[in-house]
């Protein structure tokens, strides 16, 4: 007999609601949960669709006896008016932070901007030109390219009246007055 004696397992598995697919949850939302959001201008007009958000706990391996996700996550669903079912889903671990629906949509739909930034980092600033063999060298190169890109972006924003980036009020790059005309 091992010492100290082992206690009998007394924890019982809580009864939890049945796991559902995201499509099932999206279809169950009331009509008031859906809002039309425009996230950016496109080449053929503004890009607009219907979106809703709701909290979820990801089941992952729960059906096979595994644990639920340790915390609530936010699910963003896109369901265009002309579509018969929701078309896209995004999960975000916001950890209690509030994120408005429009900002959430803009972040979720930011792939085009990210691809443009990455292309510019490679083509204009040489992100892909590193030929060293050490991690510190690579880290140095990526850091300098990132700093150069941040500087160029802030200079570009300083010279434009309208831009597609949201800056925090009071930040160094947020315009405090109208740019000079002419």
pLDDT of residue 153: 87
Cα–Cα distance, 144 to 146 (Å, whole number): 5
* Domain-embedded: residue 170: no
Do 28 and 100 lie in a common domain?
Answer: yes
Do 97 and 131 lie in a common domain?
Answer: no
Do 69 and 125 lie in a common domain?
Answer: no
Cα–Cα distance, 116 to 13 (Å, whole number): 49
pLDDT of residue 112: 82
pLDDT of residue 182: 41
* Res. 166: pLDDT tops 50: yes
Taking residue 86's Cβ as centre, other Cβ atoms within 10 Å add up to 19
* Res. 4: pLDDT tops 80: no
User: What's the total number of domains in the chain?
Assistant: 2
pLDDT of residue 181: 45
Each residue's pLDDT tens digit, 113-130: 889 889 999 998 999 888
Do 126 and 87 lie in a common domain?
Answer: no
Each residue's pLDDT tens digit, 167-177: 555 555 554 44
What is the arithmetic mean of pLDDT over 141-159? 90
Domain assignment of residue 97, given as a range: 22-108
Predicted TM-score (pTM) of this structure:
0.62
pLDDT of residue 179: 47
What is the arithmetic mean of pLDDT over 43-55? 92
Read out DSSP for 47-70? EEEEEEEEEE---TTGGGT-PPPS
Each residue's pLDDT tens digit, 52-109: 999 888 776 666 666 666 678 899 999 999 999 999 999 988 887 888 999 999 999 9
Cα–Cα distance, 58 to 96 (Å, whole number): 16
Do 95 and 76 lie in a common domain?
Answer: yes
Cα–Cα distance, 109 to 59 (Å, whole number): 25
Do 81 and 136 lie in a common domain?
Answer: no
pLDDT of residue 59: 74
Do 152 and 124 lie in a common domain?
Answer: yes
* Domain-embedded: residue 16: no
* Domain-embedded: residue 168: no
Residue with tokens 């609601």: 17
Do 132 and 93 lie in a common domain?
Answer: no
The DSSP symbol for 129 reads: G
* Domain-embedded: residue 93: yes
Is the sign of the CA dihedral 16, 20, 25, 27 positive or negative?
negative
* Res. 43: pLDDT tops 70: yes
Each residue's pLDDT tens digit, 9-42: 555 555 666 778 889 999 999 999 999 999 888 8
> At residue 158, what are phi and psi to the nearest 5 degrees?
-65, -30
Cα–Cα distance, 136 to 167 (Å, whole number): 32
């Amino acid at each position: 007999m091992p010492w100290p004696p082992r206690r009998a397992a007394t924890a019982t598995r809580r009864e939890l609601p049945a796991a559902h697919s995201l499509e099932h949850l999206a279809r169950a939302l009331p009509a008031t949960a859906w809002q039309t959001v425009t996230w950016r201008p496109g080449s053929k007009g503004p890009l607009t669709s219907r979106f809703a958000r709701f909290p979820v706990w990801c089941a992952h391996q729960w059906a096979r006896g595994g644990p639920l996700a340790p915390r609530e996550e936010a699910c963003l669903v896109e369901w265009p008016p002309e579509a018969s079912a929701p078309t896209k889903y995004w999960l975000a671990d916001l950890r209690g932070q509030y994120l408005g629906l429009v900002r959430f949509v803009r972040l979720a739909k930011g792939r085009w901007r990210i691809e443009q930034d990455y292309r510019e980092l490679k083509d204009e600033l040489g992100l892909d030109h590193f030929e060293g063999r050490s991690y510190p060298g690579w880290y140095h190169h990526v850091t300098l390219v990132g700093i150069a890109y941040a500087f160029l972006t802030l200079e570009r924003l300083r010279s434009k009246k309208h831009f597609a980036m949201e800056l925090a009020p009071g930040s160094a790059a947020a315009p405090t007055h109208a740019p000079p005309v002419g």
